[in-house]
Amino acid sequence: MRKTFRVAAATGILASLGGVASLQAASASTTPHRQHASASGGMKITYAGFSSMNGLPQIIKGLNKKYAGKYVFQATAYPYANYAALLSSAISGGNPPDIFGASWTPSVYYAREGLELPIGPFVKAAGINTAAFPSSLWSSHNLVKGVHYSIPLDAFGTALFYNKALFKKAGLNPNKPPATGAQMIADAKAMKKAGVKYPVIMGVDKNTQDFLYPSLVYQFGGKMGKPTNCASLFDSPAGTKAANWEKSLIYTYHVAPAGPSPNEDLNDFGKGIVGMVMLPAINQGSLLKSLGSKLGVAPLPKIGINTDDFVGQQYLWVFKTTTSTTPAGAKGVAIFLRAIYNQELPSIAKDNGIIPAYAPALSAVKSMPFFAQQDQMVKTGRVNPAIPNWGTVTGVPLYNNLEEVLLNKVSTSAGLAQAKNQTNQLTQTLPGCTQ
Amino acid sequence: MATEQQLVVQTTGAIAAEGLAERKKVRLRRHHELQNGTAYLFLTPYLAVFVLFVVVPLVFGIYVSLHNWSETTGNGGFIWFRNYTTLILGRGYYGSEFWTSMWNTIFFVIISVPLLWLIPTALAYGVYRAPLKPLWRFLFFYPSVFSATAFGSAWSLLLATNGGSVNNLFGLNIQWLTGMPQAWISIDLATIWATMGFSFIIMYAAITQVPRPTLEAAEMDGAGAYERFRLIILPLLRRASVVVVVLNTIASFNLFAQDQIMTNGGPGTATTTISMTIYQQAFDSFNAGGATAAAFLLAIVLGVIAFFQFRISRKAV
C-alpha cells in the first residue's frame, strides 16, 4: 500500500512537472495553444489592460451581438499596481491577451523580446487615422527597430493643482495661476504670509517624482535616457538643476515642508489645506470631487527653459498569439480596436478626466472641465525614452536616490550619480541594451 | 513418557495454536492495512493539493533558480549556481539590494519578534486575571481581522507628517514615515497592533492550561502575581512561546504589504524588505531565475532560524 502510494505520488509529480514544462515551452515559443473557437462557435478575441473599462462592457456586448457566431470578444481589467505580474503570469502560462493596454515603455520591452506584432496593419484595417494622434505621443521616438508596435490610447500630463480659495485668502488672483517657477515661489510666499500653513506640498517619493522630476529635466533641456544603448542621462546639468529647484522649495524658500509622507501632497491638497501641488493630471477627477469650485488646474509653470512636461499614457499593442497571427484573428483584433477608438475613448475621458489621444474622440469631450489645460499638457508632453520598461525598471533606483536627495540626506550630485550607476546596472540586463 | 497418541494430540494442538496465531497475525496486519488505507484515503485530497501547489512549485522553483529564466521569454539556459552567487556576493543591482534589504528585514525581525511575544504574553496574563475577559479578548484580537492594506493605509493617514492626526493632536512635526528610525518604529507599531491578536490568543489559551492547583498552592505559599507569572506560568508557556516566536519570525521575514503602503520602502531604501526586492526582481525586471534564487536563500535563512529556535526550546523544556 505504502509502496503503491509512493509510486502514485511520484508519478503525479512527474506528470505535473511535464505539464509545467510543456506550458513553459509554449510560452517560450510565444505561440500559445489556445482554442480558436469558443463554446458559442466564434473566434475568441481577448483584451486586457488597466484602462477604466467603464465603457467597455457595453461595447463588448454590442460587438458580440453584431459578430455572433464569428467572434467572441472578451475584456479583462488588470489592476494598475500589479498588472506586470498578472501579464507575466499570462505570458508564462502561454495565454497572453491578443490586445493589451498599458504604459508606453512596457510595449517596447515586449516588442524587443519579439512577443508583439507591428501595429501598422491593424491600425490600417481598423481605419484609425494616425495623423489624429498628438505628435507628442506618436512620432519617430515611438519606433522600435524602425517600426511602430503600439498606438496611444489616452494621456495625462503633469499638472499644477491649486486651491482658489487659498489664493484669494492671500490676495492672489484665483484665475491667474503661476506661469513661471519664480511666480510660483512668489505666490507661495504670499500665501505663507497670509497664514496658509502649507503653500506647497511636494511629494519626495516615487508617487510624485516619477512625473515631476522628468518634467523638470525636460524643462531644463535634458533627457532621461538614451534609447540606442539604454544609458541613463538624468545626471546631466539639466537633471541637477531639476533636483536643485525642487530642493529650493523646501530648504531655500521654505514654502514646502520637508519630509512629507507618501501621497501626502495628494491627500492634504484634497483636504483643502494646501495651496499648490504638482501631480499627474489623472488626479483631476478625485480632486474635483473633494474641492469642487475651489480647484484650479493649470499646466506646470515654466520652471526651466521650456514648458515641456512628462505625460502618463496608455498605449495599445497586439501580442503575437495563435489568434492574432491568423487573417481572421487579425480582422477580429482590428474590429475591436476600431470600437475602442470610436466608442470607449470618450467614456474614459468623461469618467476619469483623462484626455483621449485621438482627435475625433477628443473633440467629443470638449465640454469637460479643464479640458483646455489638459490638452495643453498633452501637447507639450514628453513620454519616456524608447527603453524597455523604463518607467518601471528605472523607477526604483532613481526615485529611491532622489528621495534621499530631497530629504537632504545626500548631495544632489552624489544622489544622481548613484541613481545613474544603479539604473545602468538594471538597464544592461534589458533586451537590446548594450552599453 | 508420552504415548504416541498424546504426542499426536500435542502436535496437532501446537499446529492449531500456531495456525490460530498466524491467522490472528494476518487479521491484525489486514486491520492495520485497512487502517492505513483509510488514513491515506483521508489524506489523499490534501496530499494531492500539497503536491500540486507546494511540491511541484518547489521542485520547479529549484529548476528555475538554476537557469537564466524570464517570465516572458522562458528558459534562457542552465547557469548552475550563478543566480545564487550573484546574490551572495552582492554583484549587480539586485545583488547589492539583496543584502541591503536582507539586513533591513533582519533589523525588523529583531525588533518585532520579541515585542510580538512579550506584548501578547503580558496582555494574555492580564486578561487571564481581569474581569470582562470576553470583552478584552475581542478588543485585542479585533485588529487581526483587518487586511494589511486596510491597516497600513489607516496608519499612514494617522502618521502623515503634515496632515496626520498624531502630529496634529500633539503639536509635533515628526517625519514618522520619511525619517529614520521613525519609519521602522511606525511600521513596527502598525504591525504589532494589527498582528498580535493571534499570538495573544495562543498565549491566552496556553495560560488557561496551567493547572489551577499549582497556582493556588503557590499563592498559599505567599507568591505574588508577578512571582507566579515568572516562576510558574512562564516556564509552562515555553511550547506556546516557541510556536509564537517561530510563526512571528516567518511572518516578519515576509513583511511586504504594510511596508509597501506606509513607506514604499523608503526613505531611500531604508525600509525596503527582502520580499519587496524579490518582487521587484521578478516582476519589474522579469528576472524569475534571480528572484527564485533570492526566495530560496530567504527560505534557507528561515529554515536555519526555525531549526535553532526549536532546538533551543526543546533543550529548555
> For chain A, which domains are there?
31-155+312-382 (3.40.190.10), 158-310+389-427 (3.40.190.10)
* Prior bond of A299 cis (ω within 30°): no
The alpha-carbon gap from B193 to the nearest alpha carbon of chain A, in Å, equals 20
Mean pLDDT of B32-38: 83
- Same domain membership, residue B103 and residue B57: no
Which pLDDT belongs to residue A33? 38
Cβ contacts of B92 on chain A, cutoff 8 Å: 425
Report the percent of chain A where pLDDT is more than 90: 73
Mean pLDDT is lowest, of A22-31, A32-41, A64-73, A323-332, for A22-31
- Same domain membership, residue B153 and residue B46: no
Which pLDDT belongs to residue A39? 53
Asked if the Cβ–Cβ distance from B280 to A206 is below 8 Å, we say no
Asked if the Cβ–Cβ distance from A409 to B267 is below 8 Å, we say yes
Which pLDDT belongs to residue A24? 33
Residue B137 within any structural domain of the chain: yes
Grid cell locating A26: 509554449
Confidence label for A18 from pLDDT (cuts 50, 70 and 90):
very low
Which pLDDT belongs to residue A4? 40
d(CA B57, CA A92): 14
Confidence label for A346 from pLDDT (cuts 50, 70 and 90):
confident
Residue B198 within any structural domain of the chain: yes
Which pLDDT belongs to residue B34? 79
Question: Which residue of chain B is at minimal alpha-carbon distance from A20?
Answer: B60
Asked if the Cβ–Cβ distance from B56 to A389 is below 8 Å, we say no
Smallest Cβ distance to A426: which of B157, B161, B285? B285
- Residue B167: half-sphere exposure toward Cβ, Cα within 13 Å: 20
Q: Does B72 touch chain A (CB under 8 A)?
A: yes
Mean pLDDT is lowest, of A5-14, A112-121, B129-138, B229-238, for A5-14
Q: Output DSSP code: residue B76.
A: E
Confidence label for A343 from pLDDT (cuts 50, 70 and 90):
confident
Residue B70 within any structural domain of the chain: no
- Same domain membership, residue B280 and residue B186: yes
Smallest Cβ distance to A257: which of B56, B161, B263? B161
- Same domain membership, residue B50 and residue B141: no
Mean pLDDT is lowest, of A37-41, A212-216, B84-88, B285-289, for A37-41
For residue B237, give the nearest of B182, B316, B307, B169 by alpha carbon.
B316
d(CA A318, CA A332): 12
- Same domain membership, residue B137 and residue B193: yes
Whether A364 shows a pLDDT value over 90: the answer reads no
- Same domain membership, residue B117 and residue B29: no
- Same domain membership, residue B244 and residue B175: yes
Asked if the Cβ–Cβ distance from B36 to A401 is below 8 Å, we say no
Mean pLDDT of A356-379: 88
Which pLDDT belongs to residue A15? 37
Which pLDDT belongs to residue A79? 85
Confidence label for A1 from pLDDT (cuts 50, 70 and 90):
very low
Mean pLDDT of A82-92: 89
Name the phi and psi angles at A226, rounded to 5.
-110, 110
Asked if the Cβ–Cβ distance from A1 to B33 is below 8 Å, we say yes
The one-letter amino acid at B245: V
- Same domain membership, residue B309 and residue B194: yes
Smallest Cβ distance to B60: which of A20, A258, A404? A20
pLDDT per residue over A93-123, tens digit each?
Answer: 889 999 999 999 999 999 999 999 999 999 9
The alpha-carbon gap from A98 to the nearest alpha carbon of chain B, in Å, equals 15
Mean pLDDT of A176-183: 98
CB pairs under 8 A between A and B: 143
- Same domain membership, residue B106 and residue B24: no
Asked if the Cβ–Cβ distance from B268 to A426 is below 8 Å, we say no
- Same domain membership, residue B108 and residue B8: no
CA A30, A36, A41 angle in degrees (round to 5)? 165
Grid cell locating A377: 499638457
Question: The complex's ipTM?
Answer: 0.83
For B:258-287, CB contacts with A below 8 A are 262-269, 272, 279-280, 282-287
For residue B115, give the nearest of B263, B252, B234 by alpha carbon.
B252
Number of domains, chain B: 2
d(CA A430, CA A418): 19
Cβ contacts of B59 on chain A, cutoff 8 Å: 13, 17
For B:111-140, CB contacts with A below 8 A are none
Q: Which residues contact A104 (CB under 8 A, 6 or more apart)?
A: A137, A142, A150, A152, A313, A315, A383, A384
Residue B26 within any structural domain of the chain: yes
Residue B168 within any structural domain of the chain: yes
For B:158-177, CB contacts with A below 8 A are 159-164, 173, 175-177
Question: Which residue of chain B is at minimal alpha-carbon distance from A401?
Answer: B268
Mean pLDDT of A175-203: 97
Whether A84 shows a pLDDT value over 90: the answer reads no
Which pLDDT belongs to residue A435? 60
Asked if the Cβ–Cβ distance from B163 to A271 is below 8 Å, we say yes
Mutate one of B67, B162, B277 to test the A interface: name it (highest A CB count within 10 A): B162
Name the phi and psi angles at B16, rounded to 5.
-60, -45
Mean pLDDT is lowest, of A53-57, A122-126, A140-144, A378-382, for A53-57
Mean pLDDT of B12-17: 71
User: Which of the pair, A144 or B35, is modelled with greater confidence?
Assistant: A144
Asked if the Cβ–Cβ distance from B71 to A2 is below 8 Å, we say no
d(CA B117, CA A275): 46
Cβ contacts of A290 on chain B, cutoff 8 Å: none
Asked if the Cβ–Cβ distance from B268 to A273 is below 8 Å, we say no
Residue B31 within any structural domain of the chain: yes
pLDDT per residue over A213-235, tens digit each?
Answer: 999 999 999 999 999 999 999 99
Whether B68 shows a pLDDT value over 80: the answer reads yes
Contact B264, A206 (CB under 8 A): yes
Whether A342 shows a pLDDT value over 50: the answer reads yes
pTM of the model: 0.87
Confidence label for B78 from pLDDT (cuts 50, 70 and 90):
very high
Q: What is the DSSP string of A217-282?
A: HHHTT--SEETTTTEE-TTSHHHHHHHHHHHIIIIIS--S-S-PPTTHHHHHHHTT-EEEEEEEGG
Return mean pLDDT, chain B: 91
Q: Output DSSP code: residue A135.
A: T
- Same domain membership, residue B60 and residue B193: no
Residue B74 within any structural domain of the chain: no
- Ramachandran area for residue A408 (φ above 0: left; ψ -120 to 50: alpha; else beta): left
The alpha-carbon gap from B266 to the nearest alpha carbon of chain A, in Å, equals 7
pLDDT per residue over A373-389, tens digit each?
Answer: 999 999 999 999 999 99
pLDDT per residue over B222-258, tens digit each?
Answer: 999 899 999 999 999 999 999 999 999 999 999 999 9
Residue B239 within any structural domain of the chain: yes
CA A124, A126, A131 angle in degrees (round to 5)? 55
Smallest Cβ distance to A88: which of B163, B280, B283? B283
Asked if the Cβ–Cβ distance from B37 to A1 is below 8 Å, we say yes
Smallest Cβ distance to A403: which of B56, B161, B266? B266
Which pLDDT belongs to residue B9? 64
Domain that includes residue B59, residue range: 4-65
Confidence label for B310 from pLDDT (cuts 50, 70 and 90):
confident
Residue showing cell 463554446: A39
- Same domain membership, residue B242 and residue B285: yes
The alpha-carbon gap from B93 to the nearest alpha carbon of chain A, in Å, equals 6
